[in-house]
Amino acid sequence: MEQTGGVQTRWQPRSNLARAVLPVAGGLVFFALLGLVTWGIASLLSRNPEKVEERLAQTQFEVGPTQSLADLIVEDGPLLFQGLVGDGADRSIVLDHQGDDPAQGWRVRYAHPADREPTCKVSQIEQTRQYTDCEGRTLEVDDLARPEQARVLVSDVVVIDLRAAAESDEQTTVTTAPAADTTEP
């Protein structure tokens, strides 16, 4: 700051060129710093690539209480969850339960026929265990595609694990015991 006649004035560029270039240069410096900060954040997040997907999206979908879901499926048929798996294809999941024991008999399928592409979506015939596909065929749950990386975890609640490798082609259900009570009386 300069002082002229007892009054302080701000420094200003004197030439027209300097008055035109300095604000542009200041803007470029600002955006360069913003880019460096963004790159730094991305660098920190990518240091653990096996955990990046879990930070971006949940890999487990908690459906609800085991007994209530088993009763609901008996009344209305398997549950259809639209677009639950987004792995490049918009895949929907069907959750089914068979048998009298709510802790056993759970399975998960994709909502398209096993012999067709994922674009051939199925729609459920209301309050039944049957579906119609894109060609009008009537299908059962066993006719739907088995997921490569999804399984059902059962305890007090039913959870669909969307990234777990299926144990085998026939069995995609895993039963786990309820968590132990660790509180002392």
Low-confidence residues of the chain: pLDDT under 70: 1-6, 48-58, 84-91, 164-185
pLDDT of residue 51: 58
Closest Cα partner for 158 from 82, 103, 90, 78?
A: 103
**128 Cβ neighbours under 8 A, 6+ residues apart:** 77
49 assigned to some structural domain = no
Q: Which domain holds residue 7?
A: 2-44
pLDDT of residue 37: 96
159 assigned to some structural domain = yes
Helical (H) or strand (E) element with 7: strand 7-9
| Number of domains forming the structure of the chain | 2
